[in-house]
Structure 1
Amino acid sequence: MLLIMGLGEQMIAWPDGFCAGLAARGFHVIRFDNRDIGLSTWLDDLGQVDVPALFAGDLSSVRYGLSDMAADTAGLLGALGVRRAHLAGVSMGGMIAQLVAVERPDLVASLASIMSTTGDRSVGQSTLDDVSLLMPRPDADRDAAIAADASLYRLIGSPGFEISDEYLVSFATAKVDRAYHPAGTARQFAAIVAAADRTPSLRTLKVPTVVIHGEADRLVDVSGGRATATAVPGAELILIPGMGHDLPEGAWGRIIDAITTNAATA
């Protein structure tokens, strides 16, 4: 079971307990840092993204695409000697998982697309007033970086599940202390912005697919999940009331059940 994380998030954003829950169902669980984040390769030599220009629609500073990140994922499976894997991706990770299934179907036993979307700009759009909050500040010191991350997840997290401020600060601290790389987040964000609509290619998939989305997601509107499930033939859609753009512990059981039930059909 290969877990693919979202924008700017390290592999530790897949909580240990969540991974243990999947392992308890008999899966060998793999989590990893995407390119440009965490302890993976940082691609600063490619140059910076002009974030204000990107928000204005200028894609000239995009440095790589989601297909490159899908190729990274396929390469990781090859390096580990894994011939086929069940893929589960959240947010940008769901987009990457979708592309691996499209571009390397031989590697994919099942697909779980979580809090993600199709790339169709008419669905899955953020309802946040200021999407730039997703961009960590390059000049932030440790305390400011921790505070900003905790604040972001107070904003986009799950209103229907209890999550303490202490947990959010502890989680943010672990991420900042492990690795803090705002330039990588910007390049990943640029890859998302530049991505084409995947709807036509998703219609060609023949892999068991489950689409999971929180009904209270403010970052990727639930319409993105609905569109994904509509596009993939035979996909099951599971909507979780009160869940936002995170993995609240209170929803782990339902998410794990959905992922493993879908995988069992492969």
Structure 2
Amino acid sequence: MPTVSVILPVYNGEEWIKDCISSITSQSVEDIEIIIVDDNSKDGSVDKIQDMNDSRIKLIRHDTNRGVPGARNTGIESARGDYICFIDQDDRWVEEKLEKQLQVFKDGDDRLGVVYGDVIIMDENTTLKQRLSTESVSESRLDRIKDIFLSNPPITITTMIKKKCFDLHGLLDDSLYGCDDYEFWLRIAGDFTFEYIPEPLAYKREHSKNTSGNINKMTEDRISIANEYINEYPQLRGVYKKRISDIYLIASYSHFIDRNMSESMKNIHRSIVADAYNVISSPARLIRMN
């Protein structure tokens, strides 16, 4: 049985998929399985995957497109490892990512559920641009939930997750758009702790094919999650307005990047209505939150 199950969703990712897979197969930890879920690609992704000669690769093909969370769930259901890691088709890992995270789990206690770190942003030519740092999560249960509720510290492509988290709390919610991972962190935070490694563990590629996607759907889903969790944890009510303001700020920034100035201004206004002081103090955090 492999120690780590790596789950890689693919959809029309032929341009960088080999580079991504190479960063997995070259990990210093060899006791892994690589579950690649092709989400009904229309390009040459499958051919490139099949060209990779590594017995640890398992290719699963969807006959319909189910989106990233749906593809990740297929991978989770097939996973045999004690730990699960996610990576996206155009990103890379540092060579010792898995080794460093397994050591943290070895040194931790049974409550430890997620180990994560920072990312380096790179462009489509693999030129390194900047380090995107995150932050640690509090140890105490309620503070831990509050930290994640407010800022979603774990960057998913850097995480290693104990399989038990999924066994106890279920799969990702694939009805959510672009925030299924955030909801999952909140779902498990009551039972599991998070450990931050303050160094880069992955490289995230920015390129011309990156899109903001359905910003309005993502915003609606983030607000729905916020409403759900303040009902479950009334202690979060004191920071609820700030969270809603942040959600609208993220939407405003995303619309701005897409050059949709009308929607960007609408969301700035909504953010001010939710928490005006938060808007004044937040600009430097926009890229991290997004």
What is the TM-score with the length of structure 1 in the denominator? 0.31
Choose between structure 1 and 2 for higher RCO, CA contacts under 8 A separated by at least 6 residues: 1
User: Counting strand residues as a fraction of each chain, which structure ranks higher?
Assistant: 2
Larger radius of gyration: 2
What is the TM-score with the length of structure 2 in the denominator? 0.29
